[in-house]
Homo-oligomer: A and B are copies of this chain.
Amino acid sequence: MQETRLDTARIRAARRVIDPVFLDTPLYRCEALEPGLGCTVSVKLETANPVRSFKGRGTEVVASLLADNASRAAVCASAGNLGQALAWSGRGRGLDITVVASRSATRAKLDRIRALDAGLELVDGDHEVARERAAAIARYDGIRLVEDSLDIETCEGAATIGLELVDTAPSFDAVLIALGGGALATGVGHVVKALAPEVEVICVQPLGAPALTHSWRRRRVVTTDSTDTIADGVAGRRPIPAVLDDLLLVADDAVLVQEASITAGMRMLLDHAGLVVEPSAALGIAAILEDRDRFAHRWVERRPTATAAPTATGRR
């Protein structure tokens, strides 16, 4: 594999600064999903923690470094999950955290960010507008801007999921990863390609927010003017060039799924697995539902993270 920005030894080191409450998350075969999907499927659950998403893995790495450097504050843009996670990690280390979010972000997530003692600034417009505002605050206040997927710590944190998959799971055929900004896909993808290169890394994005998938297919950054998807956690319009470069090295495929498949996936996870997941976490199931022949008769495992990243992996 050509070198990505990530390094497996650094990812292993990242595990040591992450609060254990975010690590070693459940990974289990979910047979009740299998009749509906036509393949063997496992789940890696990333929601049973204080911030209900895998983002705490990355913000723990970020906040640990900030605290080591005697920093006092940081700011990020967030659709909700990164903001909660950074607020949680910052609070525990005495950092002042500001989160910028779109006024249209999920209200429950915004409430939880406030409850975690972070400053919350709402902007008119979408996540890209929030990113611009967060960058402006960082410049004006001279504080650290935490940029999801661009900042290597966020990728390394997400990549620790890949270590847990590779270290504990039986061998599998494919891993399905929700594709948003790209931290999860490049992080998990790096580890899988480094340690289990025969496993297919498949990224999944909504048809209504396809910028990074289009970029991957054309091997150059493609932006879109808008997004239109229920999966708010992955709804970006402007892929980050460095992230695309990494994604080109680790992803074997990137697929787009319809909204109806995403909601069908959420429903399946609720009805058959007893899991409440946000739309972004149903992308992996949606991809199987849209292309059952591709996965048929493979021993497939999947990992939903109710707040961001479903992954399906096919086990041999």
Q: From residue A104, how far is it (CB to closest CB) to chain B in Å? A: 21
Q: From residue A57, how far is it (CB to closest CB) to chain B in Å? A: 14
* Inter-subunit contact A25/B26 (CB<8 Å): yes
How many angstroms from the CA of A21 to the CA of B47 in the assembled complex? 17
Q: Which residues of B contact A48 (CB under 8 A)?
A: 26, 28, 43, 45, 48
Q: Which residues of B contact A28 (CB under 8 A)?
A: 21, 48-50
Q: A13 at the A/B interface (Cβ < 8 Å)?
A: no
Q: Which residues of B contact A31 (CB under 8 A)?
A: 50, 112, 115-116
- Chain A's interface size range is 20 to 34
Q: Which residues of B contact A194 (CB under 8 A)?
A: none
Interface string of A243-260 (1 = CB under 8 A from B): 000000000000000000
Stretch binding the partner chain, chosen from A61-69, A129-137, A270-278: A270-278
Q: From residue A51, how far is it (CB to closest CB) to chain B in Å? A: 9
How many angstroms from the CA of A24 to the CA of B50 in the assembled complex? 16
* Inter-subunit contact A29/B50 (CB<8 Å): yes
How many angstroms from the CA of A131 to the CA of B24 in the assembled complex? 37
How many angstroms from the CA of A223 to the CA of B20 in the assembled complex? 44
Taking A26-B48, A48-B48, A49-B26 as contacts, is the C-beta distance between A32 and B276 under 8 angstroms? no
Q: A118 at the A/B interface (Cβ < 8 Å)?
A: no
Residue of B nearest to A271 (CB): B108
Taking A30-B50, A32-B115, A306-B274 as contacts, is the C-beta distance between A24 and B21 under 8 angstroms? no
Q: A15 at the A/B interface (Cβ < 8 Å)?
A: no
Q: Which residues of B contact A270 (CB under 8 A)?
A: 276
Residue of B nearest to A21 (CB): B28
Q: Which residues of B contact A112 (CB under 8 A)?
A: 31-32
Q: A52 at the A/B interface (Cβ < 8 Å)?
A: yes
Residue of B nearest to A274 (CB): B276
Residue of B nearest to A116 (CB): B31
Interface string of A291-310 (1 = CB under 8 A from B): 00000000000000010000
Residue of B nearest to A168 (CB): B20
How many angstroms from the CA of A25 to the CA of B116 in the assembled complex? 24
Residue of B nearest to A44 (CB): B48
How many angstroms from the CA of A66 to the CA of B276 in the assembled complex? 37
Q: Which residues of B contact A276 (CB under 8 A)?
A: 270, 274-276
Binding site for B on A (CB under 8 A): 20-21, 24-32, 43, 45, 47-50, 52, 112, 115-116, 168, 270, 274-276, 306
Given contact pairs A21-B27, A26-B48, A270-B276, enumerate 14 new A-B contacts (beta carbons under 8 Å).
A20-B168, A21-B26, A21-B28, A25-B26, A26-B26, A26-B49, A29-B50, A31-B50, A31-B115, A43-B48, A47-B274, A48-B48, A52-B274, A275-B276
